[in-house]
């Protein structure tokens, strides 16, 4: 596969999707999902539009957040999140993105993250470099956590699950003792793209699925950053958490995670 050619084809398709993405800002909930999650009609329409165009242009199947599709463990598959940050999108915040990754035997070998409201277009193929609006970006430099912005996911302090709210509060408290610059963007894709771009020194993603993670994983790796789960294990398409960071910053955050304790103890 010519990964650069595939990314070029996919870029044209995402550019075409940017116009309806912008036009649908503040779209209301259309499809209730698990918990308090939802999808808008724009999510559904964009997934249909992008999926159809990708299959026609590349001949590779698509697995989307809203409709599923080709198996994620296929030899080659596109993984699509038509609107990452749906709550932001529906509320009128510009912190929302389109995420697309190409997986080869479960490995994200290409990633595309479009931020239509800010005009930022990130792409990468395995081996790098990170491309921003078509321009190669420098590899990430070693970063001290004390000097960095850190992206963290949103949550309720009373939530349970794999990473209970009280664990998250304790972790943020410990992180804040080293970096007083924690940021909540409400979009996993934006957090990971901003780590790749050196805007954030690291990002702590408490949940999500492969369509939330894969594009950003490809971007961070291409930029020279490190990506694992919050437990420090290699990221895979079945992972339900992500820790991404620039050199050195990732190790510092992982040490703070481990010193905070086991999530199940909260």
Q: Which residues pair with 42 in a beta bridge?
A: none
| 84 marked ligand binding residue | yes
Report the chain (266 residues): mean pLDDT per 10 consecutive residues. 97 97 78 57 91 98 94 97 92 94 98 98 97 98 96 91 95 95 96 98 97 98 98 97 98 98 94
Q: Which residues pair with 103 in a beta bridge?
A: 77, 108
| 66 marked ligand binding residue | no
209 touches 237 (CB < 8 A)? no
pLDDT of residue 37: 52
Omega prior to 129 cis, within 30 of 0: yes
pLDDT of residue 206: 96
Question: Which residues neighbour 24 within 8 Å (Cβ) at sequence distance 6 or greater?
Answer: 40, 41, 42, 45, 89
pLDDT of residue 31: 56
Burial class of 62 by CB neighbour count within 10 A (0 to 12, 13 to 18, 19+): buried
104 touches 219 (CB < 8 A)? no
| 43 marked ligand binding residue | no
Distance CA(156)–CA(119), nearest Å, equals 31
pLDDT of residue 29: 57
pLDDT of residue 34: 52
Distance CA(149)–CA(37), nearest Å, equals 27
Q: Give the number of other CB atoms < 10 A from CB of residue 102.
A: 27
**CA dihedral sign of residues 247, 237, 15, 38:** negative
Alpha helices in 70-201 (DSSP H): 86-91, 165-176, 188-196
- Please state the pTM of the whole predicted model: 0.94
Q: Which of 164, 200, 165 is nearest to 182 (CA)?
A: 200
Domains of the chain listed by start with CATH number: 3-136 (3.30.540.10), 145-265 (3.40.190.80)
| 81 marked ligand binding residue | yes
């Amino acid at each position: 596969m010519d990964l650069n050619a595939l990314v070029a084809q996919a870029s044209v398709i995402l550019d075409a999707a940017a116009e309806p993405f912008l036009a649908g800002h503040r779209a209301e909930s259309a499809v209730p999902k698990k918990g308090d999650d939802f999808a808008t009609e724009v999510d559904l329409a964009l997934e249909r539009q992008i999926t159809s165009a990708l299959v026609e242009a590349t001949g590779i199947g698509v697995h989307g957040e809203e409709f599923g599709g080709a198996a994620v463990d296929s030899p080659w598959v596109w993984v699509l999140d038509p609107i990452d940050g749906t709550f932001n999108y529906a509320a009128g915040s510009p912190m929302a993105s389109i995420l697309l990754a190409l997986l080869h035997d479960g490995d994200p070998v290409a990633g595309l993250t479009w931020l239509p409201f800010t005009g930022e277009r990130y792409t990468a193929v395995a081996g790098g470099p990170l491309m921003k609006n078509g321009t190669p970006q420098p590899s990430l430099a070693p970063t001290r956590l004390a000097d960095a912005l850190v992206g963290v996911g949103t949550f309720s302090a009373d939530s349970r699950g794999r990473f209970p709210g009280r664990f998250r509060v304790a972790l943020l408290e410990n992180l804040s003792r080293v970096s007083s610059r924690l940021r909540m963007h409400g979009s996993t894709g934006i957090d990971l793209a901003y780590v790749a771009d050196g805007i954030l020194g690291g990002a702590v993603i408490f949940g999500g699925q492969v369509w939330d993670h894969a594009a950003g994983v490809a971007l961070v790796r291409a930029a020279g950053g490190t990506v694992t789960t919050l437990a420090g294990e290699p990221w895979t398409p079945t992972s339900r958490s992500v820790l991404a960071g620039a050199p050195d910053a990732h190790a510092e955050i992982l040490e703070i995670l481990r010193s905070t304790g086991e999530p199940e103890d909260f």
